[in-house]
Amino acid sequence: MSQIPLDQRLASILVRPLAKTSVTPNQVTAFSLLLSLGGAGLLAWGEGPAIHWGAGVFLISRFIDHMDGELARLTGQTSRFGYFFDGIVGVIAYAALFIGMGIGLWRGGGELWTLLLPVVAGIAITINAALQFRMEATLENPPPTYPSWGLFELEDGIYLIGPIVWLGYLYPLFLVGCFGTIAYLTIRTAQAVFRT
């Protein structure tokens, strides 16, 4: 049995005050989407403090993304719609992140491929999510969405976006993120093919 990731544990503690309000899990999901799009938009600005703020806002949005499920479990408001809404918001958020970084790099003098690569990564993210939804619907024991190691999941690497961008390494992050997403699609496709 895998451990509950550290960020999910923190989210379950921090979301408790919301359980006493009329805020719904889907509203938290929508708020995380707005923050993600805002962070991606700031990264698309491509210069000055905007990219630093963008990285910070996106980092916060991904942490808040864990709060919706915790709030749903805490208040007994889990639903199939909420599960899919959360998954789709995650797809949109990560695709927007890469596209925002690509636009920012292009605006800063990057080549045309800095606009095209994140579109390919966004397609890979979408296919990854579709594969996960399909495996969860058809397999008795589907693989987890992300591999985990103790209190951390592969997805937790997104929390490094802030420090990496703040230290001036947006371009390497962009490349590793885009190509890593495409490589992960290959792994997920193999899992889907060999488990069905």
Domain with 51 in it: 6-195
Which pLDDT score, from 0 to 100, does residue 26 have?
97
Percent pLDDT > 70 in the chain is 98
3-state secondary structure of 153: strand
Work out the average pLDDT over 62-90: 94
88 burial class (0-12, 13-18, 19+ CB within 10 angstroms)? middle
CATH code at position 75:
1.20.120.1760
3-state secondary structure of 29: helix
Does 142 fall in a domain? yes
Mean pLDDT of the chain: 92
* pLDDT single digits (tens) 1-46: 468 889 999 999 999 999 999 999 999 999 999 999 999 999 999 8
Give the residue carrying structure tokens 């290959």. Answer: 186
Which pLDDT score, from 0 to 100, does residue 3 have?
84
How many domains does the chain contain in total?
Answer: 1
